[in-house]
Chain A
């Protein structure tokens, strides 16, 4: 039978095959590449089964390619790696030599499929259909019944006939037991799979978020005519802690086959770290809002809520210079990134008698690096300008909403004016003008001035919302940005869909009644329009006041470039949260009143 052995008949033994292969076999490579192996004796595994399954003995030799290239070797039934080392090398048979990349997805799973003709007639399949239905679109909430049912399904030995999956990562936040896993699965319309942890959580796989994975599609193109095209999955899990083992099972006529497993790794529990990790899981941007609603938002919201609870217990450091005896408006100015604007803004306030006598200035430091520099700067500024102000440091970065809310805790006036430190009023009297407009109509809720760029063109003239089809989100839009103010279609107070948080004035009563700024957004976006919607929900209007102007040195408002970077994903996250909260108001241009 072994024609290629004939000329050396007698000298080839199992031991000599093993000895030769051992000289080139890379056990570390083998173990790392074939994560599904349950043995430690990799050499023997390769000698006995591995090569038959097309596994490679080392980085530079492809078993399957060698067999395809040399049918005589395949027909002989000899270990192809032995053949290469013993004969092929000398004969110039190079067909199996490759530099294989680490991300060859086929090498991560078993690729030899076989038929399971009994599957659809099997008891387990029918039972699973009864519980979850046959539609792959997730339609049943009967998780518990399904979970209980999986316990009576016997575990089948050996590989599943064709379903294969791989867990790219599974991470649990350091606190709580929430986790998220991502990976891919090649499965058919009628496949049933589930996640199972050794902590006892069982979830049908079809409850996961599925997405197109180009790499998986390309690697398994031959199977894709039958397999479901959305091979990538992202699934949120509970009852997972670092060290927990997550397994994926797939059903065949014989029972449940373990097709993938992974150990839960620790993820830092700060919202930003979680967001960064989630951003690292690639999802086509237009699909991302769906994933965010399903997977990301519950996780991040819970981390933010946890952070906010911790923040609310933190002590504040407060110091003040002078005192405003009868404040009519509290001007709240969060400081983040730089403090050199403070003096330039003070130069404007120093020309404004109303600000000096009737406004309570509250600086909220929202950046730990500014705490020390501001101690000196604030006393220099008070010595030179003599305008009273208060400084609050909340112990850590709270974000735009959190900092503004903290400022309000120390505000005592009837009006609240939220102001960025890089916004500079053009003329004195701007605060009274804004309060006058607010008081001119009982339905007005929040008023906001015209903001100009350094070059004098319009930066803010009210905000609108536009739908970005390629990202499936509503984003904030600044109409008429960049044009000459004389071309502004509005010359007097105008009701608009929303106004900017860089400078907005409302009453304290209204602010309290809507519950203040929502601090559930990630790293500052959409917080102002969220507050505007809360105000509109109360039947009040957002009003743009073109007769009051401030120069706003905002370096660049963030442009949604569509590049899949972290910042873009944060905007998509916030936009998704924003539109889930305000879907009906978003489609309505201005308040009905």
Chain B
């Protein structure tokens, strides 16, 4: 039977370029091109600047925007309740999907999942989990609140209360109960990393119901190595992505600062980062202050944000991609993008980063949150032979088309 697939995302890449919405949209595009898919649609939550009206509007053919929001983040309750059982169900009635594939419920709420099953329990519901939202109230990061942002390995009602003292342990029981009751309605779960899959199995998802499917990538060939002179080294390091406290850009800058002046002369770091303006003043000040001296010295270039279509050109000019995140990550899009471009990575040795990059095979690990360790690994990485060896070991990531096929196999 050919599937009719409604893809739901918490954002539309037209307005928001987060990894999860891009992955959702790319998968939707791949479903479109798959002959086993009868029809497919993309429904994204949107803020159109007029409040949470609950209305669903067409964006373009097969694409819809839903003005939904969250009334209660603790229990992930939708702000516009009525539209869940009216307009949203009307959309289901009109589109007649056989599968609803949900990429995120943040900003939408959990209730629409129940509404799907209540309207027609034969519609299959699948959830792709992009972070630890159900497990961790702290933006799904599994990082403790407060100074130091310590890594967290397991949830419990009393420990979670430690991060959110305004809540009781009972509140956290209620939160888990609400998430779990909704998750129980789903037919299956997709995790882009084994690391995240295991975290959710520990939390309570049946291991037979959650599979790992990596996010698809374009099947472009790898880029040529950056052209260098005989006496040059593989000393260009690129940071790509959001500049926020979880992404560890401060670790990268501190790593530069921890080097001797002589050592710094041997390396060049490029920051291709977005959204620093959206961060707290304290964080901005810290980063800008750190960056200023390094830029003056010539070991740091602040290139700034890029559009998706500019990324390949920028990757062309670096040797290594650095992912120094201080949280677990799941499957950072930049890792797959770097591999597509044939660039080895230097990553924190935790969570999804450690899983996706094999230390000494297609990249290097450094001790997470440790600038000295990162500095050492970077200086070591300038070796041309090491770079060549690791870059040759890179295997092409799964394509959009193959990713869609893996999903369809799971749906069937």
Inter-subunit contact B177/A344 (CB<8 Å)? yes
Chain A residues with Cβ below 8 Å from B177 are 344, 347, 424, 551
CA distance A344 to B168 in the complex (A): 16
Question: Closest Cβ of chain A: how far from B109's Cβ, in Å?
Answer: 11
Cβ contacts under 8 Å, A380 to chain B = 81-82
Complex A-B: 19 CB contacts under 8 Å: A341-B174, A344-B174, A344-B177, A344-B178, A347-B178, A347-B181, A350-B181, A351-B181, A351-B184, A383-B85, A384-B81, A384-B85, A384-B114, A385-B118, A422-B170, A455-B157, A551-B173, A553-B170, A553-B173
Check: A555 CB closer than 8 A to any chain B CB: yes
Interface residues on A, range: 20 to 34
- B168 touching A384, Cβ below 8 Å: no
Distance between A374 CB and nearest chain B CB, rounded to angstroms: 14
| Besides A340-B174, A422-B170, 10 new A-B residue pairs in contact (Cβ under 8 A), listed by A number | A344-B181, A347-B177, A347-B178, A347-B181, A350-B181, A383-B84, A384-B115, A454-B157, A455-B169, A551-B177
Contacting pair B82 A383 (CB below 8 A): yes
Supposing A348-B181, A454-B169, A454-B173 touch, asked if A386 and B118 sit within 8 A by C-beta, the answer is yes
**B111 touches A (CB below 8 Å):** yes
- For chain B, the count of residues having a C-beta within 8 Å of the partner chain is 22
Min distance, Cβ B93 to any Cβ of chain A, angstroms:
15
* Inter-chain contacts of B157 with A (CB < 8 A): 454-455
A147 CB, nearest partner CB in chain B, Å: 58
Interface pairs A-B: 10 shortest CB-CB = A454-B173, A347-B181, A383-B85, A553-B170, A380-B81, A454-B170, A454-B169, A454-B157, A344-B177, A344-B174
Residues of A within 8 A of B63 (CB): none
Contacts of A383 in B (CB 8 A): 81-82, 84-85
Residues of chain A within 8 A (CB-CB) of B184 are 351
Which A residue sits closest to B84, measured CB to CB? A384
Known: A344-B177, A348-B181, A385-B118. A555 touches B170 (CB 8 A): yes
Using Cβ atoms and an 8 Å threshold, which residues of chain A touch B168? 555
- Interface flags for A329-367 (1: CB within 8 Å of B; 0: not) read 000000000001101100110110000000000000000
Chain A residues near B84: list those with CB within 8 A. Answer: 383-384
Residues in A with CB closer than 8 Å to B81 are: 380, 383-384
B118 — which chain A residues lie within 8 A by C-beta? 384-386
Residues of A within 8 A of B (CB): 340-341, 343-344, 347-348, 350-351, 380, 383-386, 422, 424, 454-455, 551, 553, 555
A-B contact count (CB 8 A): 50
**Chain B residue at minimum C-beta to C-beta distance from A348:** B181
Q: Which residues of B contact A424 (CB under 8 A)?
A: 177
- Chain B 165-180, CB-CB to A under 8 Å as 1, else 0, gives 0001110111001100
B91 to chain A, nearest CB (A): 16
B119 to chain A, nearest CB (A): 10
Which secondary structure dominates where chain A touches chain B? mixed
Known: A384-B111, A386-B118. A553 touches B158 (CB 8 A): no
Query: Measured between alpha carbons, how far is A259 from B278 in the docked complex, in Å?
Result: 79
In the bound assembly, the distance between CA atoms of A473 and B291 in angstroms comes to 72
* Nearest chain B residue, comparing its CB with the CB of A383: B85
Give the shortest distance, in Å, between B106 (CB) and chain A (any CB): 19
Q: How long is the Cα–Cα vector from A340 to B174 in the complex, in angstroms?
A: 10
CB distance from B107 to the nearest CB of A (A): 19
On chain A, the residues within 8 Å of B169 by CB distance are 454-455
Give the docked Cα–Cα distance between A350 and B111 (Å): 13
Closest to B77 in A: A343
User: Which partner residue on chain A sits nearest B86 by CB separation?
Assistant: A383
In the complex, residue of chain A having the shortest beta-carbon distance to the beta carbon of B169: A454
A347 CA / B75 CA spacing, docked (Å): 13
- Residues in B138-187 with C-beta less than 8 Å from chain A: 157-158, 168-170, 172-174, 177-178, 181-182, 184
- How many angstroms from the CA of A151 to the CA of B191 in the assembled complex? 94
**Residues on B with beta carbons closer than 8 Å to the beta carbon of A347:** 177-178, 181-182
How far does the alpha carbon of A455 sit from the alpha carbon of B184 in the complex, in Å?
21
Residue on B nearest A346 in the bound complex, by CB: B181
Which residues of A lie under 8 Å from residue B178 when comparing CB positions? 343-344, 347
Q: Give residues 251-278 of B contacting A (CB, 8 Å).
A: none
